[in-house]
Amino acid sequence: MYYLIFIYTCETYVHEFNTEEDALKDYESYKHVSENICKIILSKGIQLNKEV
């Protein structure tokens, strides 16, 4: 699984993909967003860990 993690000031969003190609296609539509506004992280793994 591949994950695009979007970190805004007070919010975090995660998009999940089956392939790296799909994740990168989605990233292309968001890469214009300034790093000052949003940080985008590509992660790979079996399961995305969540802290409680």
CA dist list (Å): 29 to 25, 40, 42: 7, 12, 14
Q: Is the pTM of this model over 0.85?
A: no
CA distance 34 to 48: 25
Q: What are the structure tokens assigned to 39, written together?
A: 């940080």
Given this model, what pLDDT does residue 2 score?
A: 92
Given this model, what pLDDT does residue 49 score?
A: 65
Ranked by mean pLDDT, the top range of 9-13, 34-38, 44-48 is 9-13
Where residue 41 falls among pLDDT bands split at 50, 70, 90?
Answer: confident
Contacts of 24 (CB under 8 A, 6+ apart): 42
Instruction: Name the phi and psi angles at 17, rounded to 5.
Output: -135, 155
